[in-house]
Amino acid sequence: MTFLKTLPTTLLALACLGLAVPPLAAAAPPKPAKKAVKKAPPKKPAIDYTGEFVNFGQWKEVQQFMGDMEQKHGVPIAELEKLFLELRYIDAAVQLVKPAPPGKPKNWQAYRARFIEPQRINAGVEFWRNHRDTLARAEALYGVPAEIIVGIIGVETIYGRDMGKFRVLDVLATLAFAYPLAPNRDTRMAFFRGELEASIISARQTGLDPLTLVGSFAGAVGMPQFMPGNIYKLGVDFDGDGKVDLRNSAADAIGSVANFLVAHGWKREQPATLAYPASMSPAMAWEKFIDNGLDAKFRAEELTAAGVSTATPLPPGMLYGLVDLQNGSEPTEYWVGSNNFFSITKYNRSYFYAMSVVELGRAVKLSMKETL
């Protein structure tokens, strides 16, 4: 009876009549739940490097600029009008120079990971080996260690592998006359007008077609990403071929980087260590040394008295600055930077940048030793 109780009603009736009971069909297994299909993240829109025609020459500010160029440098307005007819408005440059949205915390470790990584280190080793003699010559002449020069060129363009795809005059004209709304808009527009002026004058003096210059979204050029004004003022013909070519001459890039740092305060007599990890006193008297600009201003004794301590004693007779490297929700790293550390911040006004240059140069140098 136990068996019969388990049969469905129809089959139970057949069994009671003595008829054969067909075998029970196996219960269908439950259908597996459909996995949620992950939607692919939306593709970033392709960067528009070519821009659009806006006839800059009709803009009042551009007409004034052309008049100033003729008056200051003797460039005929007709020549400039013809040039500006070729230029295009690059909206991508406008979007890229906008400041980051407020509230997003800075994260040194995330920033560091972009630059201190195997591809860039290996490329640095190759660059150093290929230009060992040139780097040694620059170090002897300018007093800037090879590892710092290597660090800068590596951070900037991975040793010439990524020098930018924007036509320089396009982005300079766009940012000189259509910079996005920002508290420092007038200052930035004046800066880019100066860079546009330098580009045009330099091209005329060297016989270069200014429309062939290609660089970053802000107009920086070549392996070391010099702005045109700095090429004009601080570029070095380090290979002796009679011209400064930061796009194709590694020697010119090396000499120009070293010359830039010396022009911005690098001192050859200072120790090779540029930054010292620091521990901070809970009393926090040291807070007054934070956010004091991009210069070394304080004596070692002042920092020590305020509760800043370093594992290695700070060399006497030098000036220092307190560097805070924020790590998002993680604790901030503190370092004491020397005068030469702050010279690197003149290349790019950022503690993160300067520290990444130092650490990339150190990593490449260490890798060089390991592979010898």
DSSP string for 248-317? T-HHHHHHHHHHHHHHTT--TTS-S--EEEEEE-TT-GGGGGSS--SS--EEHHHHHHTTEEESSPPPTT
pLDDT, averaged across the chain: 90
What are the tens digits of pLDDT across the range 292-349?
Answer: 999 999 999 999 999 999 999 999 999 999 999 999 999 999 999 999 999 999 999 9
Query: What residues contact 257, with CB distance under 8 A and at least 6 apart?
Result: 138, 144, 149, 152, 153, 224
pLDDT at 335: 98
d(C-alpha 145, C-alpha 240), whole Å:
21
CA distance 364 to 123: 9
- The CATH number of the structural domain formed by 56-99+162-263 is 1.10.8.350
Whether the CB-CB separation of 56 and 87 falls below 8 Å is answered with yes
How remote is the C-alpha of 148 from its chain's centroid? 16
pLDDT at 170: 98
CATH topology of domain 108-152+267-371: Lysozyme (1.10.530)
Residue 34: the pLDDT is: 58
| Domain assignments of the chain as residue spans, ordered by start | 56-99+162-263, 108-152+267-371
How many alpha carbons fall within 13 Å on the CB side of residue 347? 31
**What six digits make up the tokens of 87?**
């230029």
| Predicted pLDDT at 40 | 61
Q: Is 287 a catalytic residue?
A: no
- Three-class DSSP category at 89: strand
Name the residue with higher pLDDT: 6 or 153: 153
Of 5-14, 68-77, 222-231, 261-270, least confident by mean pLDDT is 5-14
Q: Which residues contact 229 (CB under 8 A, 6 or more apart)?
A: 194, 195, 198
- Determine the pLDDT at residue 206: 86
Q: Which runs of consecutive H residues, i.e. helices, occur in the chain?
A: 2-5, 9-16, 60-73, 77-86, 91-96, 108-115, 118-130, 132-142, 146-157, 168-177, 185-206, 228-234, 250-263, 300-305, 339-344, 351-371
Catalytic member of 139, 147, 156, 195: 156
